[in-house]
């Protein structure tokens, strides 16, 4: 793995429920909430007997990019019911590992963690034929068009489970604030009845806040700008098999450039759970615009 100068913090733990000193938690929270990727090169996900068979793209139903598991239901997979039940158990075990890890590292988050979807990504990161907006090989921050989050954070835990020694390869871009200074001036303002209309048409689940609008604008603005993609500050980061990594994907500029077979857990956290809410994207954007961006 290449560890660059700035945005990675290494953590040499090998347990999904480590014991961590409070001072270490503070330092790690500062790094994570400041936009670092926490990299745990010794924390592998342990397969149980027979589960390696799932390291094959044939389990994907080929319509969805990922196999996902949410509220006890598996989606995007195909196979015999017994196999899919085993696959669901494997993904659910990863979900438990990921939430336990976050609760152990960051006790303040523990009671606030909202576990969202867990995904298993059996397809190669490269080679998917998608529109520029869905192209995750372009640097971006995550923002969901249909699920407004009004400043709530998107924390993600990833684990490379490749059986053939292939790294997951990312590009990690510049800090959120630098990116926003560059791209925010080009994001159009939200139209007067836009949020209400989108909610009424059920394009969005609930009302889009101005924060959501700006985050989508930054997501799209970065992905659409070829010059920004090529020339903005960035580093390649390689996550070897058996590596887990954690980041706020609504804050870290990231792009997936290679690799196959990864598990991922999404966790939502309210601003009130953070160690340093002032570092969060909503507070950064509020300082830049001089406005409250979500009620």
Q: Is 153 in the site for ligand SIN (CB under 6 A)?
A: no
**Kind of pairing between the strands at 8-10 and 37-40:** parallel
Q: Is 256 in the site for ligand SIN (CB under 6 A)?
A: yes
The answer to whether 258 touches 168, Cβ cutoff 8 Å, is: yes
SS3 289: helix
Residue span binding ligand SIN (CB under 6 A) among the ranges 144-152, 248-256, 271-279, 287-295? 248-256
Residue with the two structure tokens 């590009």: 171
Q: Is 77 in the site for ligand SIN (CB under 6 A)?
A: no
Q: Is 223 in the site for ligand SIN (CB under 6 A)?
A: no
| Binding mask of the shown chain, residues 158 to 187, with x at each position contacting ligand SIN by CB under 6 A | ----------x-------------------
Q: Which partner from the list ligand SIN, Fe ion, none does 125 bind, CB cut-off 5 to 8 Å by kind?
A: ligand SIN
Min separation Cβ 257 and ligand SIN, Å: 9
Phi first, then psi: what are they for 34, rounded to 5°? -85, -5
C-alpha to C-alpha distance for 9 and 227, rounded to whole angstroms: 28
Other beta carbons less than 10 A from residue 272's beta carbon? 8
Q: Is 116 in the site for ligand SIN (CB under 6 A)?
A: no
Q: Is 125 in the site for ligand SIN (CB under 6 A)?
A: yes
Close Cβ partners of 62 (under 8 Å, ≥ 6 residues apart): none
Q: Is 121 in the site for ligand SIN (CB under 6 A)?
A: yes
SS3 39: strand
Q: Using the CB atoms, write b or e for 101-136: b if 16+ within 10 Å.
A: bbbbbbeebeebbebbebbbbbbebeeeeeeeeeeb
Cβ-based nearer residue to ligand SIN, 140 or 208: 140
- Residues numbered 49-68 forming contacts with Fe ion, rule: CB under 5 A: none
Q: Is 250 in the site for Fe ion (CB under 5 A)?
A: no
Helix axes 176-183, 210-224, angle to 10 degrees: 80
- Residues numbered 139-158 forming contacts with Fe ion, rule: CB under 5 A: 142
Q: Which partner from the list ligand SIN, Fe ion, none does 9 bind, CB cut-off 5 to 8 Å by kind?
A: none
The answer to whether 95 touches 115, Cβ cutoff 8 Å, is: yes
The closest residue (CB) to Fe ion is 142
**Binding interface with ligand SIN (CB under 6 A):** 121, 125, 136, 168, 249, 254, 256, 262
């Amino acid at each position: 793995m290449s560890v660059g100068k700035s945005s990675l913090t290494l953590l040499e733990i090998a347990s999904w429920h480590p014991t961590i000193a409070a001072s270490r938690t503070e330092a790690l929270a500062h790094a994570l909430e400041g936009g670092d990727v926490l990299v745990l090169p010794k924390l592998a996900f342990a397969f149980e007997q027979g589960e390696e068979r799932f390291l094959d793209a044939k389990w994907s139903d080929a319509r969805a990019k990922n196999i996902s598991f949410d509220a006890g239901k598996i989606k995007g997979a195909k196979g015999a019911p017994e196999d899919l039940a085993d696959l669901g158990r494997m993904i659910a075990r990863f979900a438990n590992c990921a939430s336990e890890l976050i609760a152990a590292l960051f006790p303040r988050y523990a009671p606030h963690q909202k576990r969202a979807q867990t995904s298993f990504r059996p397809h190669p990161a490269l080679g998917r034929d998608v529109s520029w907006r869905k192209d995750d090989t372009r640097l971006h921050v995550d923002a969901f068009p249909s699920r407004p989050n009004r400043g709530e954070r998107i924390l993600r835990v990833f684990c490379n489970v490749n059986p053939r020694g292939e790294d997951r390869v990312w590009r990690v871009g510049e800090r959120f604030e630098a990116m926003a200074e560059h791209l925010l001036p080009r994001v159009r303002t939200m139209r007067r009845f836009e949020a209400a209309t989108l909610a009424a048409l059920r394009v969005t689940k609930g009302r889009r806040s101005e924060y959501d609008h700006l985050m989508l604008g930054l997501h799209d603005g970065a992905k659409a700008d070829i010059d920004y993609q090529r020339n903005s500050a960035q580093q390649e980061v390689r996550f070897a098999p058996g590596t887990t990594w954690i980041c706020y994907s609504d804050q870290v500029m990231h792009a997936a450039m290679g690799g196959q077979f990864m598990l991922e857990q999404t966790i939502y956290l309210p601003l009130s759970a953070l160690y340093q809410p002032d570092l969060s994207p909503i507070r950064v954007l509020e300082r830049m615009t001089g406005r409250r961006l979500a009620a």
